[in-house]
Chains A and B, each alone.
Chain A
Amino acid sequence: MKAKTYLRILFGTLVLLFALAVGYVYYFIEHYPPPFTNRISLDAKLKYIRNNIDVNKIDTFIVGSSIGLNNVIGSILEKESKCVKHAVNLSVYEATTLEAEQLMQLTKTFPNLKRIIYSAQYSDLPHPWRYENFDANTYIGYMNHTLSWWRLLKFYFKACNNLLFCYERSQKWENKHMQPDKFTSLLFDHTCSVPLKIYKQKGVGGRWYLPHPPIMHIESFRAIARMAKSAKEHGIYFYVAHQPYRPELYKKHKSVRDGIAYFDQKVTEAIKEYNGTLIKLQNLPLNNSHFADRTHLNDRGSAISTKAVAKAIDNREKEK
């Protein structure tokens, strides 16, 4: 064929391919969380907050790892606490304390914030890791609709330029993240918390009976101190909810008891100066039926834990 015809077909097909790609990206963005970060739970939350939450109403910000995601249920907190009216849970799977500190930068999205709850267990503290390329300003702009159309387009483009990855995510989404009986669940309540419906120890394996070594990095406590300081500077209450360890393991292993005691001691020291509050939850009336594994509570357990957090908040804020 003539070169002119050849090139017409070639460019025509390329344009068509790009149009299809753009169409797919549009579909993907509408139906799944775009991979803005390398944490799907954060991606899902950014999108959920943008689409469903009035950022001006939020007064309570919950942050942490999956211990924050699964163990503090925002919707229960709103019901049980007299102080908490509207909560949002920005906890992210596997977040270290330093990463939680980075996530705290996102509190700027919520202009009427009154309290921050960092929900953690000593097992969250062994590594001083941070997120690379954590672009807080863009995430804030995305959530509160202040990004210009050009920056929004760039944000989507950067997130979705790996189409294969997007496709893989869409394929796994339903089975992996929309099931309440999986640890990877992202089935949010209206505050982005995820109550787990996992009731049997079978299939959980080592997660049920092996305790975490009591290793905590000193930088993690420094990060907690900085979080408390920042909260104080902004006139915001700061709580550390120390989530319970499965009581059988707590009784059986000295290392767990030591880990919890050390955590309590170091956190108390870290937040004391900034009027932070440590909420100790180890002695709640919990048994195996309340746990999904050694540290993650299921919906029954998290309801109890959240009520205790609500009570602690009300007590603390009534003092004023």
Chain B
Amino acid sequence: MLFNSYEFIFLFLPITYFIYFYLNKKHLTEASKAFMVFASLFFYSWWNIKYLPLILISMIFNYSLGRELVNPKKLKTISKKTLLWIGIAFNLGLLGYFKYMDFFIANINRLTGSEFKLLHLALPLAISFYTFQQIAYLVDSYRGETKEYDFLNYAVFVTFFPQLIAGPIVHHKEMMPQFAKTKNKVIRLENIAVGLFIFFMGLFKKVVIADTFATWATQGFDVAKNLNMLEAWSASLSYTFQLYFDFSGYTDMAIGLALLFNIKLPTNFLSPYKATSIQDFWRRWHITLSHFLRDYIYIPLGGNRKGEIRTYINLFITFLLGGLWHGAGWTFVFWGTLHGLALIIHRAWQKLKIKLPLILAWFLTFNFINIAWVFFRAKSFDDALKVLKGMFTGDFILPNSWSHLFGSLKSSLHFGEWSKLYANESYMGLWLLIAFIIVVAMPNSMEWKDRFKTNFFYLILTLFFALSLFMLYKKSEFLYFNF
């Protein structure tokens, strides 16, 4: 079920909400949790019930293992460390089988000339997210940082529907205590007000902004055979904005929904396109993934504690794996590699203690991110190169109607039909400009959330965002459902 669907907004959400709080009102706390798990699994199964057993098995296995890791006294025949590795291997095995098996087979076939058949497995929804969440739980159990939660609490932590499909990647430490708090079991009107504000803002970002850019990005990346310079930049910027508004919109909706149930989900985006360095970008983009990569890959690899060269290697490996996490394809690996290299260069640059002017730093960062997204979006290297070729060596054709603006320079410029691809998209330039202003100059949704007050201004703003309810007919999936 999609957050941006009628069945979710008008049926699933209100029914779940009222039953959950009704059970809590009747002091049936355990029943309310059980109901939340049931509702979340129903929400999950709406797409394809076939993968319900998978998430259940994964949950039961990880919970049981976590319990063993928390109670080392019970362990007799097997060491705690071995048990942890079994757990990690199980989770990565599951993820590897469903997400990377065909990629692996295709590469083996390419390298050896063999003809192993591809499995064509459909990627179980949310597997990348719930696998990471549970690996973190196992590692923390091993470190002795978890408490003994019962299975119901654990199941709520893993399946809680606002975050189940595409994050934010939550940590048991920040989630489980919230479900246990008595004051979170009653309806809180302030949370409903702010929750709805953030939810509708996210909905607006998705259905109005992201879906508009999606059409243009698709035309540029998937439809066009060649792109001139303006078309290529329009396509790449369209995707850059689409991805941000789509994913941050989804996260806002998740945060807003969780707030309706008095649960605070972690922040996932903090104006990433305002970043003035690549390090800064990763502190603002998909923050919960960055934290996971830092805490469970970078630091265990040694972080920055083993000398400068090892730090570079650790950074590189972390981002290479980060790229691979996003998808089973060489374009994703290459995207991760680019970010890994950029972080190494940034770190080396910091050693020089030369500070770039802020605007130049922002300009370089934004353009690097925009160019790197080309590999992230393209279905193949050929598609990526097509867009990059257009961006840097494509014909530079300005619209005929602009010719009078250039005076004597007119003769040295090329005027004509600036785009065959986007010729009918008369508002494209305006959309790009507005999106640019939003991401660079406006407060982000978390800042809006912190400023929120139940006054007339926010009421009007909420209603404005809520108008996107009338645009749900598009019903497109969120990009991060694929990762």
**Contact, CB under 8 Å: B454 / A2:** yes
Per-residue contact bits, chain A 1-29, to B (CB 8 Å; 1 contact, 0 not): 11111110110011001000100000000
**Contact, CB under 8 Å: A161 / B472:** yes
Main SS of chain B's interface residues?
helix
Q: Does B190 contact A (CB under 8 A)?
A: yes
**Contact, CB under 8 Å: B473 / A10:** no
**Contact, CB under 8 Å: B459 / A10:** yes
Q: Does B348 contact A (CB under 8 A)?
A: no
Which of chain B's residues have a CB closer than 8 A to the CB of A162? Answer: 471, 473
Per-residue contact bits, chain B 441-455, to A (CB 8 Å; 1 contact, 0 not): 000000000000011
* Known contacts A10-B193, A161-B472, A163-B470: A3-B463 contact under CB 8 Å: no
Per-residue contact bits, chain B 175-197, to A (CB 8 Å; 1 contact, 0 not): 00000000000000110110010
Distance A6 CA – B6 CA, assembled complex (angstroms): 24
**Contact, CB under 8 Å: A7 / B192:** yes
**Contact, CB under 8 Å: A6 / B470:** no
Distance A4 CA – B189 CA, assembled complex (angstroms): 6
**Contact, CB under 8 Å: A3 / B473:** no
**Contact, CB under 8 Å: A7 / B193:** yes
Which of A3, A14, A21, A163 is close to B190, meaning CB atoms less than 8 Å apart?
A: A3
**Contact, CB under 8 Å: B463 / A10:** yes
Which of A1, A9, A10, A161 is close to B196, meaning CB atoms less than 8 Å apart?
A: A10
Which of chain B's residues have a CB closer than 8 A to the CB of A14? Answer: 463, 466, 469
B364 shortest CB reach to chain A, Å: 40
**Contact, CB under 8 Å: A3 / B459:** no
* Known contacts A1-B455, A10-B196, A13-B463: A21-B189 contact under CB 8 Å: no
A258 shortest CB reach to chain B, Å: 32
Question: Which partner residue on chain A sits nearest B474 by CB separation?
Answer: A162
**Contact, CB under 8 Å: B454 / A1:** yes
A39 shortest CB reach to chain B, Å: 18
A200 shortest CB reach to chain B, Å: 29
Distance A81 CA – B332 CA, assembled complex (angstroms): 69
Question: Which partner residue on chain B sits nearest A165 by CB separation?
Answer: B473
Distance A88 CA – B190 CA, assembled complex (angstroms): 60
B451 shortest CB reach to chain A, Å: 15
**Contact, CB under 8 Å: A6 / B466:** no
Q: Does B462 contact A (CB under 8 A)?
A: yes
Which of chain B's residues have a CB closer than 8 A to the CB of A1? Answer: 454-456
Which of chain B's residues have a CB closer than 8 A to the CB of A9? Answer: 459
**Contact, CB under 8 Å: B473 / A6:** no
Distance A13 CA – B467 CA, assembled complex (angstroms): 11
Distance A9 CA – B463 CA, assembled complex (angstroms): 10
Which of B6, B189, B467 is close to A7, meaning CB atoms less than 8 Å apart?
A: B189
Distance A14 CA – B454 CA, assembled complex (angstroms): 16
Report B1-56 residues with CB < 8 Å from chain A CB: 6
Distance A4 CA – B190 CA, assembled complex (angstroms): 8
Which of A3, A13, A17, A161 is close to B193, meaning CB atoms less than 8 Å apart?
A: A3
**B455, B456, B470: which has the most chain A beta carbons within 10 Å?**
B470
* Known contacts A1-B454, A3-B192: A10-B470 contact under CB 8 Å: no
Distance A162 CA – B470 CA, assembled complex (angstroms): 7
Distance A79 CA – B322 CA, assembled complex (angstroms): 75
Which of chain A's residues have a CB closer than 8 A to the CB of B192? Answer: 3, 7
Question: Which partner residue on chain B sits nearest A13 by CB separation?
Answer: B463
**Contact, CB under 8 Å: A6 / B193:** yes
Question: Which partner residue on chain B sits nearest A2 by CB separation?
Answer: B454
Which of chain B's residues have a CB closer than 8 A to the CB of A10? Answer: 193, 196, 459, 462-463
Question: Which partner residue on chain B sits nearest A3 by CB separation?
Answer: B189
Distance A14 CA – B470 CA, assembled complex (angstroms): 11
Question: Which partner residue on chain A sits nearest B10 by CB separation?
Answer: A18
* Known contacts A10-B196, A10-B463, A14-B463: A3-B454 contact under CB 8 Å: yes
Distance A7 CA – B458 CA, assembled complex (angstroms): 11
**A4, A5, A6, A164: which has the most chain B beta carbons within 10 Å?**
A6
A184 shortest CB reach to chain B, Å: 19
* Known contacts A1-B454, A3-B193, A3-B454: A21-B470 contact under CB 8 Å: yes
**Contact, CB under 8 Å: A161 / B189:** no
Distance A164 CA – B469 CA, assembled complex (angstroms): 12
Distance A208 CA – B357 CA, assembled complex (angstroms): 64
Which of chain A's residues have a CB closer than 8 A to the CB of B466? Answer: 14, 17
Question: Which partner residue on chain B sits nearest A11 by CB separation?
Answer: B196
Question: Which partner residue on chain A sits nearest B458 by CB separation?
Answer: A6
Which of chain B's residues have a CB closer than 8 A to the CB of A164? Answer: 470-471
Question: Which partner residue on chain A sits nearest B192 by CB separation?
Answer: A7
Which of chain B's residues have a CB closer than 8 A to the CB of A21? Answer: 470
B329 shortest CB reach to chain A, Å: 29
B458 shortest CB reach to chain A, Å: 8
Which of chain A's residues have a CB closer than 8 A to the CB of B456? Answer: 1
Report A147-182 residues with CB < 8 Å from chain B CB: 161-164
Distance A17 CA – B464 CA, assembled complex (angstroms): 11
B410 shortest CB reach to chain A, Å: 33
Distance A21 CA – B470 CA, assembled complex (angstroms): 9
Distance A307 CA – B349 CA, assembled complex (angstroms): 86
Distance A27 CA – B196 CA, assembled complex (angstroms): 30
Which of chain A's residues have a CB closer than 8 A to the CB of B190? Answer: 3
Distance A6 CA – B458 CA, assembled complex (angstroms): 9
B86 shortest CB reach to chain A, Å: 48
Distance A2 CA – B193 CA, assembled complex (angstroms): 10
Distance A1 CA – B193 CA, assembled complex (angstroms): 12
Distance A10 CA – B196 CA, assembled complex (angstroms): 10
Which of chain B's residues have a CB closer than 8 A to the CB of A161? Answer: 6, 470, 472-473
Question: Which partner residue on chain A sits nearest B460 by CB separation?
Answer: A13
B200 shortest CB reach to chain A, Å: 10
B348 shortest CB reach to chain A, Å: 52
B422 shortest CB reach to chain A, Å: 21
Which of chain B's residues have a CB closer than 8 A to the CB of A7? Answer: 189, 192-193
Distance A163 CA – B468 CA, assembled complex (angstroms): 11
A210 shortest CB reach to chain B, Å: 22
**A2, A3, A163, A164: which has the most chain B beta carbons within 10 Å?**
A3
Question: Which partner residue on chain B sits nearest A6 by CB separation?
Answer: B454
B455 shortest CB reach to chain A, Å: 6
Distance A21 CA – B462 CA, assembled complex (angstroms): 18
**B193, B455, B469, B473: which has the most chain A beta carbons within 10 Å?**
B473
A28 shortest CB reach to chain B, Å: 14
B214 shortest CB reach to chain A, Å: 16
Distance A7 CA – B467 CA, assembled complex (angstroms): 16
B201 shortest CB reach to chain A, Å: 14
Question: Which partner residue on chain A sits nearest B194 by CB separation?
Answer: A3
A50 shortest CB reach to chain B, Å: 23
Distance A209 CA – B192 CA, assembled complex (angstroms): 66
* Interchain residue pairs with CB less than 8 A apart (19): A1-B454, A3-B189, A3-B190, A3-B192, A6-B193, A6-B455, A7-B189, A10-B459, A13-B463, A14-B463, A14-B466, A14-B469, A17-B463, A17-B466, A17-B467, A21-B470, A161-B472, A161-B473, A162-B473
Would you list the 9 A-B pairs with minimal beta carbon distance, nearest first?
A: A3-B189, A6-B454, A161-B473, A162-B473, A3-B190, A3-B454, A3-B193, A163-B470, A6-B193
- Other A-B contacts than A4-B189, A10-B463, A21-B470, 8 sampled, CB-CB below 8 A, are A3-B189, A5-B454, A6-B193, A6-B454, A6-B455, A7-B193, A10-B462, A161-B470
